[in-house]
Structure 1
Amino acid sequence: MANVSHEIRTPLTVLAGFVETLQTLDLDPEEKVRYLGMMAQQAQRMQTLVNDLLTLSRLEGSPLPGAGEWIAVAALFGQCEQEGRSLSSLLAPAQPHVLVFDHPTGWELSGAPSELQSAMSNLISNAIRYTPPGGRITVAWQALAGGRAEFSVKDSGPGIAPEHIARLTERFYRVDRSRSRETGGTGLGLAIVKHVVQRHGAELKIDSTLGTGSTFAIQFPASRLRTTSIKRLEEAPVAAPDGAPARPATAVP
C-alpha cells in the first residue's frame, strides 16, 4: 500500500504544482500550452497506473482460465506490432527503433486472449522504453522440444545486472527509476506478465548482458498449443552456432 500511495502521490503533487503555477503566474499563451501538455502527461501516467493496478487485482482474484479459447498467434503479433510501432514513434519520433516482427503462421494458443495480449505487449513496451532511440528490437516465435513454443523479445538496450533479474517481477521494482518515469513506465508491467504466465502454465525466462541487451521469453507448454501446419511440434530447438556456448536464461519464479 505504501508503494501504491507513493506512485499516486508523485503525479498528483506535480499536477498540483502546475495548477498553482497557472493560477498565480501571468503566463503567455505558449507557456500555458506547455504547462497544459505536462499536466496531460501526468494525468495519463495516473490513468495507466490505475489501469495496471486494476489488471493485477483482476488477475489475482479471478479463477484460472482453464482451456480458454484458441487464438491465432499471428493475430496477437499483429496487435503487438501496431502498439509497439505507435509507442516507438511517440517516445522516439526523431529516431524510431528498428522493430522486427517475425510473424508466425499456423500456430494457435489457448487461454485468455486479453491476458496473453497484455503479457506480450508489456514485454515489447518494456523493450521500447529501455532501448535507446534507433536501437533494435526483435519479436519472434519458435518451436521448442517437447511440443512447446516460445515467444521472445530481444533488445539492444543497456542490459540488466544479474542481481536485479530475480526482482524484476516485483510490483514497482525498477532497475532505473528515473528512466522508467521519463518514458511513462508504472513498474507493474512485469508483475502483470508474471501472473499471466503462471495462470497459463508457462515460464518466463530472462537473459541479459550489461552493455549488450536483454531477451525476455515466455515458454508455453504443449497443452496450450496447436498448429494447423503439416509439421507438428516435435521440432528440436535451433542449435547454437559452432563455438558459441549455450548460456541458460534465468527462469523467474
Structure 2
Amino acid sequence: MFWRIFLFLLCQIVPALAVWFFYTGHDQYTVTLLAALAGCYVWLALDGWRGWRLLRWLRSGDTSQIPLGSGFWGEVFDRARKLVRSRDRVLAESDNRLQEFLAALQASPNGVVLLDRDGRIEWFNQMAAGHFGLDERRDMLQHLGNLVRDPGFAAYFSTRDFRRDVVMPGRNSSSSKPVRLSVHMHPYGEGRSLLLSHDITALDQAEAMRRDFVANVSHEIRTPLTVLAGFVETLQSLPLKAEDRNRYLDLMSQQAQRMQTLVSDLLTLSRLEGSPLPPSQEWHPVAALMAQCEQDAHDLSALLWGGTQTLSFETHGVAELAGSASELLSAMFNLIGNAIRYSPADKAIVVRWTSTPDGGAIFSVKDQGQGIAPEHIPRLTERFYRVDRSRSRETGGTGLGLAIVKHVSQRHGAELSIESAPGKGSCFSISFPPQRVHQQTTLPTATERLIDA
C-alpha cells in the first residue's frame, strides 16, 4: 500500500516539477497545477486498466495466464490466482472421487438407480439398464414409474413403504426363460431415493430344485418303506408257509436293495458336486475301463435277461483318458446299464470308443430299444426324471443315473449328447476333449491293463 501511495504522489510531483522548471509563462502556477492533475488522471487510468485486466481474468478463470506482474493489483492477482487454483484442485479431487464412486457402482453386481425427490432418474448403471430396459440417452430425468409398469412395483413405489423389497419379472422375462428381480428402495438425502435391483432367478430355481429334490427323495423312499412295512406286518401277524415267507423276504430284500441303490446314487451326486475337479495328470488306459464295463455289463444282462442280449464292445484306437477312474467307470457303466435295462432281451447293444480327428474321443452306447420321444430328451438328465416311471422301477432304476453321467462329463470337460427317436432306439455319447485324451501308438500289455485295473 505504501508503494501505491508513493507512485500516486510521484505521478503528480514529476510533471508538476517539470512544468515549474521549464515553463516560465505568467500562468506558471496554473499550468503546474494542471500538470499535477494530469499526472493524477494518468495514474488513475493506468490503475483502472490494471484493475480491469484483473477483473477480466477473474471472469475467465484461466489460471494458465498471468496478466499482471507486480504492484498492488499484481499481489491481488497472485492471491486470487492461488485461491482459484486451490478451488480447481478441490473440484478436480471431488470429480475424481465422484468418478471412482460411479465406477464402483457401475461394477456392482446389482442394478443401481439414483432418483431425485420427484422420482426422476438422475443416474443408473448398466446392470440396472439390463434389468429394466433403460437407455441413458432416452430415459435420463424420466419418471421411473412411467418406465417400469409392473403392477407390483407400481404399488410398491406409490405407497412409499420401503421397509421391504418387492419381487417382479425382469425386462427380458419370458415363459420359456423367466427372469426374477428383487427390487428395494432406500431413501437418502433430502427426498432422494436409491433403488437396488438383484437378479434372483438362480436362487428361485435353486429353491424350486431343492423342493422338487426333497419331494422326489421322499416319494422314492416312501414306496419301498411302505412295501417293507406291509411285508413285516404280514410276517408278524400271519402264519405263513416257508415258501410264502421266503417269497416275501425276497421282495423285502429287493426293496431294501432299491433304497440302498438310491442312497448310493445320492451320495455319489453329493460327492461329485462338493469335491474338487478330477486331476488332469492321472491317466487310465481306455482298454482297462472298457474291459471292466464289459464284464459288469455281461453280469447285469445275465441277471436281468438271462444273457440273451447281444453285447458288442468296440475300441477304435488305443488311448489313455485323464481323470478319475471311479467317476469315469460310473458314467460309462450308467449309460451301458440303462441300455441293458431298457432294451428287449433279443436286441443288440453296441458300446464304442472312437478317436476323433482333433485328438479327442467319443464313448457311445447304442441300443435297439423303444426309443425316447423328443419332448423328453432335454429333461433326461434331471434328477428323478423318468419317461416311464413304472417301467423304471421294475428294472431297478433310481432316476439319478443320467444326472450322474452329466456331472461326471462336465467335471472332465466332456459333453453328453443324446440321439433317440420312438421305435428306432437311442444313442448316448460322451465327447471327451483332446486335452483329456492321450493317443498311444502301441497296445498296452495284459500285465499293464491288469495293474491299472
TM-score by length of 2: 0.50
2:345 to 133, 143, 157: 133
- 1:247 is aligned to none
CA deviation string 1:152-211 (max 9, x = no partner): 000000000000000000000000111110010000000000000000000101111211
Counterparts of 1:146 and 1:105 in 2: how far apart (Å)? 13
Write the mapping of 1:2-21 to structure 2, written as runs, cut at 5 A.
Answer: 2-21=215-234
Q: CA deviation at 1:104?
A: 4.7
2:249 to 28, 36, 39: 36
CA deviation string 1:75-114 (max 9, x = no partner): 1101111111111111112x62111111455210001111
Task: Choose between structure 1 and 2: higher helix proportion.
Answer: 2
- 1:234 is aligned to none
- The answer as to whether partners of 2:316 and 2:355 remain within 8 angstroms in 1 is no
* 1:156 has 2:368 as partner: yes
Distance change in 2, residues 1:18/1:69 (3 Å): same
CA deviation string 1:195-249 (max 9, x = no partner): 000000001011112111000000000000112217xxxxxxxxxxxxxxxxxxx
Q: CA deviation at 1:145?
A: 2.8
Counterparts of 1:106 and 1:99 in 2: how far apart (Å)? 21
Write the mapping of 1:87-126 to structure 2, written as runs, cut at 5 A.
Answer: 87-93=300-306, 96-104=308-316, 106-126=318-338
- The answer as to whether partners of 1:73 and 1:105 remain within 8 angstroms in 2 is no
Counterparts of 2:372 and 2:267 in 1: how far apart (Å)? 28
**Greater C-alpha Rg:** 2
- 1:83 is aligned to 296
Counterparts of 1:115 and 1:90 in 2: how far apart (Å)? 24
- The answer as to whether partners of 1:49 and 1:186 remain within 8 angstroms in 2 is yes
* 1:52 has 2:285 as partner: no
1:216 to 428, 438, 443: 428
Counterparts of 1:143 and 1:209 in 2: how far apart (Å)? 26
Structure 2: 5+ residue runs without aligned partners? 1-213, 443-453
1:191 to 403, 420, 425: 403
Write the mapping of 1:227-246 to structure 2, written as runs, cut at 5 A.
Answer: 227-229=439-441
* 1:200 has 2:412 as partner: yes
Q: CA deviation at 1:9?
A: 1.1
Counterparts of 2:329 and 2:420 in 1: how far apart (Å)? 23
- The answer as to whether partners of 1:73 and 1:104 remain within 8 angstroms in 2 is no
TM-score by length of 1: 0.88
CA RMSD of superposed structures (Å): 1.1
Counterparts of 2:389 and 2:285 in 1: how far apart (Å)? 36
- The answer as to whether partners of 1:109 and 1:226 remain within 8 angstroms in 2 is yes
Counterparts of 2:419 and 2:316 in 1: how far apart (Å)? 22
- The answer as to whether partners of 1:68 and 1:112 remain within 8 angstroms in 2 is no
The structure with higher relative contact order (CA 8 Å, sep 6+) is 1
- The answer as to whether partners of 1:151 and 1:218 remain within 8 angstroms in 2 is yes
Q: Select between 142-151 and 166-175 the one with higher mean Cα deviation.
A: 142-151
Structure 1: 5+ residue runs without aligned partners? 231-253
The residue type equivalent to 2:414 in the other structure is A
CA deviation string 1:47-86 (max 9, x = no partner): 0000000000000011111414100001110111111111
The residue type equivalent to 1:162 in the other structure is P
- The answer as to whether partners of 2:367 and 2:426 remain within 8 angstroms in 1 is yes
Percent identity between the two aligned chains: 66
